[in-house]
Amino acid sequence: MASPLRPGGLSGHPLTSRDIRITHQILRIFPAKDFRTAQFVVEYRISSNRSGRQIPMLFYALHLRDSFKVSLDGRPVSLWVDPRSAQPEFLLDKYSGADDSEEITIRWREDVQRTFKISDLRYFEMDLEEGPHELRVEYVSDVWENVSDPVKRYSFHYALEPARYWASFGTMEVHVETVELPEGISSNLGAPHATPAPGHLVWYFNHLPADSFELSWEPQVSSLARWVMRISPAGMAGAGGCLLAILHFLGMIAYRKKTPHHWFSPVAFWGVLIIPFLVLILYVLAYFFQDVVIGAHASRHHGYPYLALLMYPIFVLLYAIPTGIWDFFFRKKFLTRTYSEKFKKES
């Protein structure tokens, strides 16, 4: 079965040289109106202990668009195509990967390492003067989609974990800014600490609050859609099956009332074959009906409901047992009534 999570963009704090201290950082997220993409602007106030070329500044950037830009003190910084072409002291000699490999393993500490795809890394070097500087990163990220439930859940992710291995960690601000915050938006960092303006949420931290920041949105659907989801496809198929069974039994009664002498009932026989099939078809169609009612935000991730048709022989057997019992009861009842009425007429 396909994964219920469709990854979007994921980036994170840079892996940096131990000579660079990040004293303050501001993460700004600007979700698009449809919440399908978001612009990320990350500002780092850094301080270098020495002058000269500083290595490395390495960003993890998964599934980002081709708009990753870096500037230092307002000047654009060029990105390296392949971090493996860096000098041997790259990441303090704590990396490994063959020249023709598509992956590289980076050790943040002797006991902490992780393997990345080369294509998911953005690497650059900088010449820094000793003292404070401002580093700015901009990119556009695609949304993640969780389709494990009938209604999609959208989210944007930003990895905070690399900050655990910095030389120092200062303070951090997280801003979410949009024209209109949709109803149902939430964050794994809890309630915002401030709302300076409509559509603007702010969090302040003097510590690393989590390994990642996740901004989520669960769309609000109509009351009809909520009602349909509460019933569920199985419930809809069950309700339809009960109605069909009632109609079938009424037909069996009508047939036995007219022909109680026949041991075989075509109404019972064909009902046993047709009704289980119709119930299974209703079960499959109920998923599509549910998607239509939910609308554009339906996950449409049902697995393989049509495989329920493989249960048809079992459903036929299970339905045939009570049907046969009731048909025998109806035949006996109306046959007895017929003989009783005949006896009264003759007497």
Spatial distance between the Cα atoms of 7 and 62, rounded to a whole number of angstroms: 9
Which element (helix H / strand E) includes 186?
strand 185-187
Number of domains in the chain: 2
Q: What is the DSSP letter of 147?
A: -
What does the DSSP 8-state code read for residue 181?
A: P
1 has pLDDT over 50:
no
Alpha helices in 190-347 (DSSP H): 223-258, 266-294, 312-346
Using the structure block, give the residue that is written with the tokens 């009906």.
289
- 275 in the same domain as 201: no
268 belongs to a structural domain: yes
pLDDT at 93 over 50: no
Print the domain residue range for 137. Answer: 5-217
Residue 126 in any domain: the answer is yes
pLDDT digits (tens, 9 = 90+) for 165-214: 666 777 889 999 887 777 778 888 888 888 888 888 899 988 888 878 88
- Is there a single domain that holds both residue 207 and residue 231? no
Omega before residue 305 within 30° of 0, cis: no
CA 51 – CA 47 distance, rounded (Å):
11
221: helix, strand or coil: coil
**Which of 217, 238, 261 is where one domain is finished?**
217
In this prediction the pTM is 0.73
Beta strands at 185-187 and 15-16: parallel, antiparallel or unpaired: unpaired
Residue 93 lies in a domain: yes
Instruction: Say which CATH number the domain at 188 has.
Output: 2.60.40.3680
Residue 316 lies in a domain: yes
Residue pair 215/156 in contact by the 8 Å Cβ criterion: yes
List pLDDT tens digits, range 291-330.
999 988 888 888 788 888 889 999 999 999 999 889 888 8
CA 277, 279, 283, 289 dihedral sign is positive
**Percent of the residues in the chain that have a pLDDT greater than 70, as a whole number:** 76
347 lies in a domain? no
The residue type of 212 is S
In a domain, 112, yes or no: yes
CA distances (Å), origin 340, targets 22, 291, 337: 99, 56, 5
- Within 10 angstroms of residue 138's Cβ, the number of other Cβ atoms is 15
User: Do residues 161 and 276 share a domain?
Assistant: no
Q: Does residue 201 sit in the same domain as residue 232?
A: no
Please tell me whether residues 284 and 338 are part of one structural domain: yes
End-of-domain residue from the set 195, 217, 239: 217
200 and 84 in a common domain:
yes
Residues 195, 287, single domain; the answer is no
Regarding whether 287 and 199 lie in a shared domain, the answer is: no
- Clarify whether residues 228 and 213 are in a common domain: no
Cα 275 from chain centroid (whole Å): 36
**Predicted local confidence at residue 92, as pLDDT:** 38
Domain boundary among 217, 246, 266: 217
**Residue 236 sits in the same domain as residue 314:** yes
Instruction: Assign 168 to helix, strand or coil.
Output: coil
Q: Average pLDDT, stretch 261-276?
A: 90
pLDDT digits (tens, 9 = 90+) for 220-249: 888 999 999 999 999 999 999 999 999 999
Buried b (16+ CB within 10 A) or exposed e, 42-52: bbbbbbbeeee
Length of the chain: 347
Region label for 196, one of left (φ > 0), alpha (ψ between -120 and 50) or beta (otherwise): alpha
Mean pLDDT, rounded, of the chain: 80
> Which residues have a Cβ under 8 Å from the Cβ of 124 and sit 6 or more positions away?
57, 70, 77, 78, 79, 80
Q: Please choose, from the candidates 144, 196, 147, the residue with its C-alpha nearest in 3D space to the C-alpha of residue 173.
A: 196
Q: Judge whether 206 lies within some domain.
A: yes
189 vs 212: CA distance, rounded Å:
9
Does residue 166 form part of some domain?
yes
124 and 10 belong to one structural domain = yes
Same-domain status, 248 and 153: no
pLDDT in the model for residue 343:
55
